[in-house]
Amino acid sequence: MTDIAIRVALAKGSFHLDVDLTVPASGLTAVFGPSGAGKTTLLRCIAGLESAARGLVRIGAAIWQDASTFVPPHRRAAGLVFQDTRLFAHLSVAANLDYGRRRIPADRPVPGRDDVIDLLGLGALLERRTSGLSGGEAQRVAIGRALLASPDFLLLDEPLAAVDAARKGEILPFVERLHRSAAIPMLLVSHDVEDVARLADRVVLLDAGRVRGQGAPTAMLATSAPDAAWAVTLPASVVPGGRTGTSLRVAARDVAVFLDPPGPSSALAVLPAAVRAVDGAAEGQALLTLDANGVRLLALVRQDVLERHGLGLGSIVHAVIHHATPA
Amino acid sequence: MTDIAIRVALAKGSFHLDVDLTVPASGLTAVFGPSGAGKTTLLRCIAGLESAARGLVRIGAAIWQDASTFVPPHRRAAGLVFQDTRLFAHLSVAANLDYGRRRIPADRPVPGRDDVIDLLGLGALLERRTSGLSGGEAQRVAIGRALLASPDFLLLDEPLAAVDAARKGEILPFVERLHRSAAIPMLLVSHDVEDVARLADRVVLLDAGRVRGQGAPTAMLATSAPDAAWAVTLPASVVPGGRTGTSLRVAARDVAVFLDPPGPSSALAVLPAAVRAVDGAAEGQALLTLDANGVRLLALVRQDVLERHGLGLGSIVHAVIHHATPA
Amino acid sequence: MIETFAAGGWSPLVLTLKLAAVTVVCLLALGTPLAWWLARTRWRGRVAIEAAVALPLVLPPTVIGFYLLILLGPNGAVGRAFALVSDQGLTFSFAGLVIASVVYSLPFVVQPIQNAFESVGRAPLEAAAVLRAGPWDRFVSVAVPLALRGFVTAAVMGFAHTLGEFGVVLMVGGNIPGETRVISIAIYDHVETLDYGYAHAMAAVLVALSFAILVLVYGINRRWARAAP
Amino acid sequence: MIETFAAGGWSPLVLTLKLAAVTVVCLLALGTPLAWWLARTRWRGRVAIEAAVALPLVLPPTVIGFYLLILLGPNGAVGRAFALVSDQGLTFSFAGLVIASVVYSLPFVVQPIQNAFESVGRAPLEAAAVLRAGPWDRFVSVAVPLALRGFVTAAVMGFAHTLGEFGVVLMVGGNIPGETRVISIAIYDHVETLDYGYAHAMAAVLVALSFAILVLVYGINRRWARAAP
Amino acid sequence: SARAVTVTVAVATNFLKPLETLASDFAATSGHDVVVVSGSTGKLYAQITQGAPLDVFLAADTERPAKLIDDGLAIADSRFTYALGRLVLLSRDPSAGADCVAALRASAGKVAIANPETAPYGAAARAALQAMSLSPAVAGRIVQGEDVGQTFAFVDTANAAFGFVALSQVAGEPPGARPGCRWDVPADLHPPIEQQAVLLRRAAGNVAAEAFLAWLRGPEAGALIRAAGYGVPAAP
Ligand SMILES: Nc1ncnc2c1ncn2[C@@H]1O[C@H](COP(=O)(O)OP(=O)(O)OP(=O)(O)O)[C@@H](O)[C@H]1O
Ligand SMILES: Nc1ncnc2c1ncn2[C@@H]1O[C@H](COP(=O)(O)OP(=O)(O)OP(=O)(O)O)[C@@H](O)[C@H]1O
Ligand SMILES: [Mg+2]
Ligand SMILES: [Mg+2]
């Protein structure tokens, strides 16, 4: 069993959480949903902080909770990064970072401290008390503290809400690398569609305490999120000048389709392609799945424009890629 | 004097805030800058919460602080929405919302309670204690509480960091309407470039406690923010089928330039245009300012592609608009 | 026993409750501003004031009573000042008892309130300030309710300690029936004179009454506190 | 005066400090788990326990001493149990004094610690739990340090109250020089016998010493607390 | 009689019980009101020096009334001995046997006396122990009550095996009603335990106070005092 099964029921006042969820025990699962949907509550149930929750929590072969078992939170060590950071006010930043790390059982590898400190830009803060930290600084310390505890399952509750875009741009790839190399499964709560689309291997949609859907980010976000979400990863070689062996991420909104081959332009690449699928998307848009000589592409276009030019399933087009970022 | 002048100096441990800033006393000014730049500290100085701060704080004709004056915070009533919400734990949500509202001086209009409650989706929470609120719910209550106090100057410290995109999409236009109709000047701290680009009348860049620049959002964000920031607002009529009298917002990344007129495509519109300016942007990109028959357009394109096709200042091109949103 | 209570036996209890109630009110009135100041000042000398507040504890009650007797007496500084405004002496009077009890129980009241104010911290007060609440307003509408637990503890401690107080009261008050003869002295007298029956009965009444009051106060506090964490 | 102190005059002071120190240690050892339990249980009956803890306060010390005398004595429940393990009696011994002082000062120790634990709340403990800290570990490494202010208050109150304690100690201790004759009794005796000189001197020493200890403790506490708000 | 006047009597706690009976008798016969205030002799002395509103002081010793006269706070010629304390050796130990002194000598149990420094009964007990050459036998076994009331509590609760208490404390107890032994210490084994009364300066001219003191020296009062377990000095 290499999947994660979570079936929890919990009532909090008038709010009822009733989640039934199975996800692979690897990669990053994004939990997405409106404010008050129960995302934080779900993470708390998984971490073992809601002792009133009933149900099953199984991480691979390890049963954290079922009808007869309730593993206490400190033995789950589900590195939960709280939405409100919860740094220890009586400890320095350094001692906060080391709190979990010093408690890692002897048979587990202890993560390197300096990498995390460098990455999160905490070097200058180590001797500081937590009380004077700015919002973003506190969030970074909280992330670092959780990472350094070497968790079996990382639960991130909007960990980057107060972190600026530039820093986010550094932290996210690290988290990504982390979850790919260490194979720690992760659950990320985020309101930021960009982050979710970029990082997540799959998305779980939560609303009013229930799972409303689950699947690949592209498919799932279509029903709930703005258009920034869909993207594909391509071999860089499809773009003139792209270095072989590397990949590019192309967002669906940055792909347009033309009937005739366009002339010289600011576009990165023009690829002949066939329209393999047309899905509805929000606000009168359509998501085209294209096959460009074996390379899958997504294009987000206006439904009405499509109709006006008689474009549809099976059409042969020229896919124009306007932007791409290294993946 | 209808401007806002802020010149404050304050040392907090090893951090030094030293700001000199003049902005018009109307509209929304976004304060943008990396984590730890001093944004929160600046807002606290303006609100009068840092009694050690030295300098000048003048809002139009009202002097809140100068060499001889220090108006205490409760007389400034600069509706500060704290980054950490700071709801009153001993009061219900309703009592939190009413706290400032009940203290509005008799000669000021008292804002309508129901509008704000509806807009922020707080109706179901009114009787609740603050302790069980989710992160986003708490932030919305904090915003409502500040708005209902009828402030002279609204200071928003990342008020929407934990609010989901859909809700944000409702709250932001309200804040926008509010500041346009009520003419309350606002200062918004946000890490979200999209928000800033969409809402702000001007941007102040803060870094390491100092103002690094100030100006229109498009110009300012170019030096610091990812490419999502640049956008222009167009009359909808430039796009086939666009309703006259309305406007469209077109992001620079959604505009491409073609040397030859392209054929039928998924594009919304193709406009002949002249390249009026070429500015460098981040990551090998260039920002083109286009003149399409009197309509100004921005296009974000790759520098190398531009060069490959010999495009530059004065080139006559076809601007292709792929996406637009109602403004 | 019946006769003993009937024959003025209840008067010490009534007097005691009155003394405890008045003392608690005075203690809160005096202790609250002191605790507030101690919780917020950054003056380095505050530790001396904090230590001074706790000092009445370290001396035996009778000895404190002795010094208070001198201080409040006709030749003492306070007694002389009081003589200017009243022709009644302070010692051996109800007013004197109140003063003595207040001095003696002050630390039990200042400490919990001060700790509670310190736990409240600056954050909610700043939030109130930017919502137009002036210093007094935010003290009343934010600091005090958030420090409620400390106030309850303070009131309970002050009340209980005044009930059981004895050495100080005996010295300053002089055991005058109906005026300064509080229940602790009455019980003491009956223990001393081997009237254990009356002492047991009176102690049982006192304990039962106090228990009821305490359960009530803590119960209400609990209800309030359950909502606000 | 010098001669008085020299003639065994210091022994009550030394004994008192020893008693206060031992009592504070016992109080903290006993009061901490009790306060922790009270702060965290949701059992409705807890208000009764809270009230019971405060009860020793409402009885005059001498009367508590009297009941303790019965309870700890050869015919009392505790005394009998103790007789099984020791052939020394509890009353009139240092051990008896410690027990009596602990009972009498318990409320002053439980209350501030309980309030401090309640102020800490669950949030930091949950944070510690997900960082692999077990219940005891997070109690020691998070709850106690965050409640430090409460512990300082508790220790100060317990210490000061034991110094000044008198009625209980007198009753249970039996005023045996070197064993149970604490300084408060010594001062009291000298007041009783009109030896005001010795009483003043001894009181001054006690006050000065206590003041020094309190300033030290509060000063250190301040230093710690300034950093963590 | 003349208009009813109130007399406030301060009494050493050990004499409080008898005084309550005396006071109500006096009030009944004289028509005056009596208010009784009790406390330890030392405390009452301190209060009188600080202007306590007291008229008559019934001390447990001779020293404090004399000192008040020296201080000018009491009427010099009003001082007299109203009661003589009687010392009793008491035990509640069922194994004590009939001979209390022998049991005391043989026992290893604690011996309670009142504090000899502050309480006359304590001084008397120490003197009696010396007179009987018992001091070495009880060395290390002495526990001190603050006053004779507390000393009695020590013995009565069996915390001390023996104790020197006041006859007045066991006067109402029929012989043999409780286990243990009792031995009335002969008066010549210790200096007399004189309890002296004095009229306080502020009561000069208070007819009730003067009448009370006069009545206290009279035969009716004497009988009551004797019944309470005290001696009464032979009429001068
Ligand atoms: N004691 C309670 N009584 C009633 N409702 C409660 C209680 N505790 C929590 N809730 C509600 O449960 C819902 C779920 O809360 P949760 O914190 O899990 O939301 P969330 O999905 O994390 O939201 P956000 O994105 O805003 O942080 C919220 O609507 C909250 O108000
Ligand atoms: N007492 C102190 N000692 C040293 N540095 C301090 C102290 N108090 C605050 N600072 C520093 O001041 C800087 C500015 O803090 P501020 O909260 O204003 O940042 P910010 O711009 O709001 O950041 P964020 O976006 O993360 O909230 C931070 O780097 C913070 O660590
Ligand atoms: Mg949440
Ligand atoms: Mg900030």
Are B215 and B202 spatial neighbours (Cβ–Cβ below 8 Å)? yes
Q: Are A79 and D227 inside 8 Å of each other by CB? A: no
- Residue C157 inside a domain? The answer is yes
> Ligand 4 centroid to B189 CA: how many Å?
8
Counting the structural domains of chain C, the total is: 1
pLDDT of residue A278: 82
B124 lines ligand 1 (CB under 6 A): no
For residue C57, what pLDDT is reported?
A: 80
Contact A74 D146 (CB under 8 A): no
Torsion of CA E160, E165, E167, E173, to 10 degrees: -20
The answer for D 159-188 residues in CB contact with C (under 8 A) is: 160-161, 163-167, 184-185, 187-188
E61 in contact with chain C, both atoms CB, cutoff 8 A: no
**3-state class (DSSP) for residue E28:** helix
- Report yes or no on C73 lying in a domain: no
Q: Is C27 on the interface with D (CB under 8 A)?
A: no
Residue-wise pLDDT for E143-180, tens only, equals 888 888 888 888 888 888 999 999 988 888 887 788 88
Share of chain B above pLDDT 70, in %: 84
Count of H-run helices and E-run strands, chain B: 9, 18
Residue ranges for chain B with pLDDT beneath 70: 1, 162, 164-170, 172-174, 176-182, 194, 197-198, 218-233, 245, 280-283, 326-327
* Alpha helices (H) along chain A: 39-47, 73-76, 93-101, 113-120, 135-148, 165-181, 193-199, 217-222, 303-308
Q: For the segment C172-209, what is each residue's pLDDT rounded down to a tens digit?
A: 777 777 777 777 777 777 777 777 788 888 888 888 88
CB contact under 8 A, B82 and C127: yes
Rounded to an integer, what distance in angstroms lies between the CA atom of residue E116 and that of residue E136?
A: 17
Question: What is the pLDDT at residue E112?
Answer: 92
Inter-chain residue contact C227 with B104, CB threshold 8 Å: no
The residue contributing the CA closest to ligand 1 atom 16 is: A38
Question: What residue ranges in chain B does DSSP mark as E strands?
Answer: 3-12, 15-24, 28-32, 54-59, 62-65, 80-81, 154-157, 186-189, 202-207, 210-215, 231-235, 247-251, 255-258, 269-280, 285-292, 295-302, 316-321, 325-326
* Mutation choice for ligand 1 from A15, A158, A196, CB with most ligand atoms inside 8 A: A15
- CB–CB contact C121 D229 (8 Å): yes
Per-residue confidence (pLDDT) for residue B152, from 0 to 100: 84
Q: Decide: A190 in ligand 1 pocket, CB within 6 A.
A: no
Say how far apart CA D179 and CA B90 lie, in whole Å: 51
Q: At what angle do helices C148-164 and C183-192 cross, to 10 degrees?
A: 40
Calculate the average pLDDT of chain D.
83
Q: Is E134 on the interface with C (CB under 8 A)?
A: no
* Pairwise CA distance, residues E213 & D227, whole Å: 70
> Which residues surround the ion ligand 3 when the cut-off is CB under 5 Å?
A 40, 83; B 134-135
Per-residue pLDDT 10s for chain A (327 aa) are 578 999 999 999 889 999 999 988 888 888 888 888 899 999 999 999 999 999 999 988 889 999 999 999 999 878 899 988 899 999 999 999 999 999 999 888 888 888 888 878 888 899 999 988 988 888 889 989 998 998 888 898 988 776 666 666 667 666 766 666 667 888 888 877 666 766 778 888 888 888 887 877 765 555 444 444 566 777 777 777 777 767 777 878 788 899 888 888 888 888 999 998 887 665 677 888 888 888 888 888 888 888 888 888 888 999 998 887 766
Q: Is residue C66 part of a domain?
A: no
D70, part of any domain? no
Note whether residue C64 is domain-resident. no
Contact E118 D189 (CB under 8 A): yes
Q: Which domains does chain A have, with CATH numbers?
A: 3-221 (3.40.50.300), 227-326 (2.40.50.100)
Report the pLDDT value the prediction gives residue C22, as an integer from 0 to 100: 94
Residue with tokens 């210091």: D10
CA distance B245 to chain C (A): 40
Pick from A86, A90, A104: which is nearest to D145 by CB?
Answer: A90
**Ligand 2, atom 2: nearest CA belongs to which residue?**
B13
Helix (H, G, I), strand (E, B) or coil at B286: strand
User: For the domain that residue C176 is a member of, what is the CATH number?
Assistant: 1.10.3720.10
In angstroms, the separation between the Cα of residue A47 and the nearest Cα of chain D is: 7
Cβ of residue A210 lying under 6 Å from some atom of ligand 1: no
Task: Determine whether the shortest distance from the Cβ of A12 to ligand 1 is under 6 A.
Answer: yes
User: Structural domain of residue D35, as residue ranges?
Assistant: 2-57+101-227
Q: Do A79 and D131 touch (CB under 8 A)?
A: yes
For residue B102, the number of C-alpha atoms closer than 13 Å in the C-beta half-sphere is 11
Asked whether residue C84 is assigned to any structural domain, the reply reads: no
Closest chain C C-alpha to D162 CA, distance in angstroms: 7
Subunits next to E (3 or more Cβ pairs <8 Å) are C, D
d(CA A177, CA A148): 15
Whose CA is closest to B300, among B283, B324, B316?
B283
Mark the ranges of chain C whose per-residue pLDDT is less than 50: 1-8, 227-229
Classify residue A183 as exposed, middle or buried by CB count within 10 Å of its CB (0-12, 13-18, 19+).
exposed
Shortest CA distance from A95: residue in chain D: D141
What is the whole-number distance in angstroms between the Cα of residue A134 and the centre of ligand 2?
4
Asked if D119 is an interface residue toward chain A (Cβ–Cβ < 8 A), one would say: no
What is the pTM for the complete model shown?
0.82
Residues of chain B positioned with their CB less than 8 A from the CB of A135: 35, 40, 83-84, 157-158
- Any atom of ligand 1 within 6 Å of the Cβ of B133: yes
E115 in contact with D, Cβ within 8 Å: yes
Judging contacts by C-beta atoms under 8 Å, the chain B residues touching residue A80 are none
Query: Min CA distance, A85 vs chain D (Å)?
Result: 9
Report the pLDDT value the prediction gives residue B226, as an integer from 0 to 100. Answer: 44
Residues in C touching D229 (Cβ below 8 Å): 121-122
Q: What is the pLDDT of residues E101-152, one digit of tens each?
A: 999 998 888 899 998 888 899 999 999 999 999 988 888 888 888 888 888 8
Please indicate whether residue A244, judged by its CB atom, sits closer than 6 Å to ligand 1: no
E19: which chain C residues are within 8 Å (Cβ-Cβ)? none
In a domain, C164, yes or no: yes
Q: What is the mean pLDDT of residues D207-227?
A: 77
> What's the mean pLDDT when you consider all of chain C?
82
Q: Return d(Cα B201, Cα A23) in angstroms, integer.
A: 44
Per-residue confidence (pLDDT) for residue B141, from 0 to 100 = 92
Q: Which residues of B touch A266 (CB under 8 A)?
A: 256-258, 299, 301-302, 305-306, 309, 311
Task: Inspect the interface and report whether the beta carbons of D166 and C211 lie closer than 8 Å.
Answer: no
Identify the band that residue D5 occupies on the pLDDT scale cut at 50, 70 and 90: very low
* Residue B200 confidence (pLDDT): 79
Predicted local confidence at residue A94, as pLDDT: 94
- Cβ pair A299, A256 in contact under 8 A: yes
Evaluate whether residue C78 is within a structural domain: no
